[in-house]
Chain A
């Protein structure tokens, strides 16, 4: 069921497929730390038992039903102050690959969740190793709910649930990689384009919704993403910048 990816140029020319593992990011990170990884290496699994959402949050996935893989990149010219471009690039790649097979409604929830409507259909986890102020390696973990039909969480969905049909997981994996390669190379350039494209697919942008910050609930509108990756929300004419932990979507 696995294969190396024939249609890409440099990503996925070496694939380590693990029928089961704790977390593909964890394996990829230990390969990087032990000098066994080079750019384009993919660690993929059919059954991720302890997938990391963010610290402590695990990603619920039935064996063999979903896409879970990690890609090793070396965006060496990328300064850490621009690292949010990685989120933007990967989110866009996932969006470009999935939107042709879904009805309209696929969005990116800042900073790194993939939503269909108001439900989570995928997530991205990026872990970097740094050398000084430059990114040395970036480990891009991607999880997409593909053929899983039942979720204990109300706020989760899958491609199969949305479309009422099953999908070829390897094909989706490859489509994402192809889109990623297209966006990857200009990453070191000051890409207004990348930020603008990310905003176009941003969940809830320019809509009024409720948010919570500093223990207070307010109505606001997302206006965009600051260059440092912070979420900008306008409330009564004032634009506030939020780090991930400083604001929650309600």
Chain B
């Protein structure tokens, strides 16, 4: 594992508001702890590069993304819109769990690879990623409703 990778990982975990993170591989062990003044510490087994022992001070947890203003739905001349379809039979969920915000709403921009919903079947939860870039124009299925294979879930304006 490269120093930069470790740094990025620690930055990432710090931003998730965790109190303490310990990472261990065959080569090293590292322990990062948040406290009021400093947060850092270290413990390296082999020759852990010193740079890693000083991650940047941890900022507060990431601010939640601002709620998107409900964009006015374009006139329904839907000709150029692309559908995001369900790859499987299951139940459609718009958020990762009931307490989380929805992955996307009308007016949101999505890029290829952004998660847009969950389809669950037999308690296997599948995070569906967008295969197109664009703006969500319409959500075609209500939360917690069953969906069929190939059923359109979202309309995306690629322009």
Binding site for B on A (CB under 8 A): 2-4, 13-21, 26-27, 29-31, 33-34, 36, 52, 54-56, 80-81, 83-84, 86-87, 111-112, 125-133, 135-136, 228-230, 243-245
Contact = CB atoms under 8 A, between A and B. Distances in A.
A4 B122 CA distance: 32
B38 interface: no
Contact of B124 (A3, A128, A245): A128
Contacts of B128: 130
Contacts of A34: 12
Majority-rule SS of A interface residues:
mixed
A137 to B, nearest CB: 9
Contacts of A243: 121-122
Contacts, number: 116
B21 A128 contact: no
A30 B121 CA distance: 21
A68 B6 CA distance: 23
Contacts of B93: 55
B159 to A, nearest CB: 23
Interface string B1-24: 100010011001100101111111
Interface of B: 1, 5, 8-9, 12-13, 16, 18-26, 87-88, 91, 93, 96-98, 115, 120-129, 131
Nearest to B5: A36
B24 A2 contact: yes
Contacts of B98: 55-56
A132 B22 contact: no
Contacts of B124: 83-84, 86-87, 111, 126-128, 229
A6 B20 CA distance: 23
Contacts of B115: 33, 129
A16 B127 contact: no
B26 A27 contact: no
